[in-house]
Amino acid sequence: MLTRRTLLIAGAAGTASLLASGFPAAAQSIPTVEEVLFDEAIPTIGNPDGDVTIAEYFDYQCPFCKRGHPDLLDVVASDGNIRLVMKDWPIFGEPSVYAASLVLAAGDDYEAAHTALMKTEGRLSRDDVDATLAGAGHDPERLAARAAEQATRIQGILDRNTNQASAFGFRGTPVYLVNTQLNYGAMDKAALLAAVERARAA
């Protein structure tokens, strides 16, 4: 179980391993549960008033994130009382930042744009991102323009997510928080359902 006390311990213990894996250091301040799970600048999927919140630190180029995403959406949809927060942590380079920026600028079309990119396979270029979004009915140029207009909000989201991942010592994607339960690595449907059940019982 992840509490504010164990978050503090995880952050202190995990920083060295994060630095060893090649990620830049960030000023360490341990975020609160509210900052991690209830960042109002990040769009949500599912039930906005759900009794369980799942937050996933992910990257649009992460094969494990993409492989597990259909199960995640299925659990959220079938349960009906889960609030899903997708926390962009673009660790695979500039195309990941570009993809995150366009999707975060999509407004009411966030979920559709997000799902389209999560259905892709392998690594992505900017052209791949544009083609995928265009194929799903979005206008990449319009999204890019909106992303530029909203650059402060979007960069703030990416910075907060990255600083949180650094503070907690995360080493890669995906990482899931189910309420305050921390789960490293890919989760299939059975694992997600079990984590939701534990969260409700806690």
Q: What is the DSSP string of 51-69?
A: SEEEEEEE-TT-HHHHHHH
Mean pLDDT along residues 173-201:
97
Report the domain count for the chain.
1
Higher pLDDT, 192 or 11: 192
User: In the prediction, which pLDDT does 124 show?
Assistant: 98
Domain of residue 140, residue span: 4-201
- Smallest CA-to-CA distance from 57 within 163, 136, 152, 188 is with 163
Q: Indicate the angle between helix axes 110-118 and 94-104, nearest 10 degrees.
A: 150
pLDDT category, 23, cuts 50, 70, 90? very low
In this predicted structure, the answer to whether residue 16 has a pLDDT above a threshold of 90 is: no
CB atoms within 10 A of CB 40: 7
What is the domain-level CATH number for residue 135?
3.40.30.10
- Sheet containing 52-58: give its strands across: 44-46, 82-88, 52-58, 175-178, 181-184
